């Protein structure tokens, strides 16, 4: 993990409420694995004080760049999305554990199930899986409220052998929830493993469907964070089966679905 000052080389709006930023930070680009995140100080001033965690969507090791997808939901993400090219931000990273890779024996379909901005870490995973294609196929499933809420969908589609979209209003792809697409794939019986990132209710449903189908499932959680490095316990979530807690920043953000007490996680 490093703390670096990083220059924004490019920034552009994406869909209804997102921004894509490219940042120059060779050391973080070289070290980051899919599923890891950077903790971003969004302002030079003390307001907002806390850093904001953002997944690395892609790392270009040769160019020394990382790419972030930021959905504007509040003060921190609005401030980050407003920064112009040339501005400098303070980054801490890479943080978190990242997605475990499928073993060399894995055969069948690898499903990437994304909701909205949860697509970001799965783009990086799909990109990295492209170099390991011998035994499995990568299939991407992306859901959103409407066609305006499917950020960077081409980035995921272009890295998958099969790709499907669902929208709640039917403005793109199948009308309905992404979990309906998942149900169709699980019924075909060729799924080796599922990786998911998106809203918690979506991931809770994905986890349950995978448990019923006896398919391993890895979920990347979002949570409010303080330190981002495991020290403050500001990000804990309840573990399955008892009184234990897990730190999303250090033990995660990626968890095996059965590690978590989904019913106690809330929205
Ligand atoms: C490991 C990790 C990776 C993430 N990756 C991305 C990413 O790639 N792109 C992206 O846009 N966002 C990502 N997030 C979420 C992002 O960190 C939050 O949206 C951001 O911190 C909100 O800050 P804010 O100041 O804009 O909003 P605030 O003003 O703090 O909050 C605005 C609203 O969002 C809600 N909220 C804030 N933080 C969270 C949260 N963590 N979970 C659920 N609801 C929240 C608040 O309750 C409030 O309703 C990630 C979070 C984690 C933990
Ligand atoms: S944010 Fe401090 S322990 Fe996770």
Q: The domain 108-220 is classified under which CATH number: 3.40.50.2300, 3.40.50.300, 3.40.47.10, 3.40.50.80?
A: 3.40.50.80
Give the Å distance between the CA of 225 and the centre of ligand 2. Answer: 6
Q: Find the farthest-apart pair of alpha carbons in the chain and give their distance in angstroms, rounded.
A: 53
> What pLDDT is recorded for position 26?
97
Residues in contact with ligand 1 by the CB-under-6-Å rule are: 37, 48, 52-55, 69-71, 73-77, 96, 117, 120, 222-225, 248, 253
The per-residue pLDDT for 179 is 97
Question: 2-95: what fold?
Answer: Elongation Factor Tu (Ef-tu); domain 3 (2.40.30)
How many A from CA of 72 to the centre of ligand 1? 9
The answer to whether the CB of 32 falls within 8 A of the CB of 94 is yes
- Choose the residue to mutate in 37, 226, 237, 246 for probing ligand 2, maximizing ligand atoms within 8 Å of C-beta: 226
Separation CA 243–CA 253 (nearest Å): 19
Position 58 scores a pLDDT of 98
How confident is the prediction along the chain (267 residues), in pLDDT tens digits per residue? 899 999 999 999 998 899 999 999 999 999 999 999 999 998 877 778 789 999 999 999 999 999 999 999 999 999 999 999 999 999 999 999 999 998 877 788 999 999 999 999 999 999 999 887 667 899 999 999 999 999 999 999 999 999 999 999 999 999 999 999 999 999 988 888 999 999 999 999 999 999 999 999 999 999 999 999 999 999 999 999 877 999 999 999 999 999 999 988 876
Q: Are 28 and 93 in contact (CB under 8 A)?
A: yes
| SS3 state of residue 60 | strand
Give backbone dihedrals phi and psi of 163, rounded to 5 degrees, phi first: -150, 135
**d(Cα 137, Cα 102) in Å, to the nearest integer?**
12
Give the closest residue (by CA) to ligand 1 atom 19: 73
Q: What pLDDT does 103 receive?
A: 80
Q: Residue 44: its pLDDT value, please?
A: 79
- pLDDT for the residue 223: 92
Contact 197, 119 (CB under 8 A): yes
Chain segment 13-53, per-residue pLDDT in tens? 998 899 999 999 999 999 999 999 999 998 877 778 789 99
Neighbours of 244 (CB within 10 A): 11
The reply to whether domains 2-95 and 108-220 share a CATH topology is no
In the chain, what are the domain boundaries?
A: 2-95, 108-220
pLDDT in tens, 195-204: 999 999 999 9
């Amino acid at each position: 993990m490093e703390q670096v000052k990083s220059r924004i080389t490019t920034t552009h709006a994406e869909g209804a409420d997102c921004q894509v930023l490219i940042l120059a930070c060779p050391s973080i680009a070289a070290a980051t694995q899919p599923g890891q995140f950077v903790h971003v100080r969004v302002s030079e001033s003390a307001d907002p004080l806390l850093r904001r965690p953002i997944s690395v969507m892609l790392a270009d090791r040769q160019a020394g760049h990382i790419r972030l997808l930021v959905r504007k939901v509040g003060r921190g993400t609005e401030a980050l999305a407003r920064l112009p090219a040339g501005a400098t931000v303070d980054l801490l990273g890479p943080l978190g554990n990242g997605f475990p890779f499928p073993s060399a024996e894995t055969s069948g379909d690898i499903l990437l199930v994304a909701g909205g901005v949860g697509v970001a870490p799965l783009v990086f995973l799909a990109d990295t899986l492209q170099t390991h294609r011998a035994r499995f196929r990568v299939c991407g499933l992306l859901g959103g409220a409407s066609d305006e809420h499917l950020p960077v969908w081409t980035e995921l589609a272009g890295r998958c052998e099969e790709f499907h979209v669902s929208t709640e209003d039917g403005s793109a792809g199948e009308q309905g929830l992404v979990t309906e697409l998942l149900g169709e794939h699980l019924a075909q019986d060729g799924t080796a493993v599922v990786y998911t990132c998106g809203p918690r209710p979506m991931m809770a449903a994905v986890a349950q469907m995978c448990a019923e189908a006896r398919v391993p499932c890895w979920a990347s959680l979002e949570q409010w964070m303080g330190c981002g490095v495991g020290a403050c316990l500001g990000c804990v979530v309840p573990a399955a089966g008892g009184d234990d807690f897990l730190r999303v920043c250090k033990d995660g953000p990626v968890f095996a679905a059965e590690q978590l007490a989904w019913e106690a996680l809330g929205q």
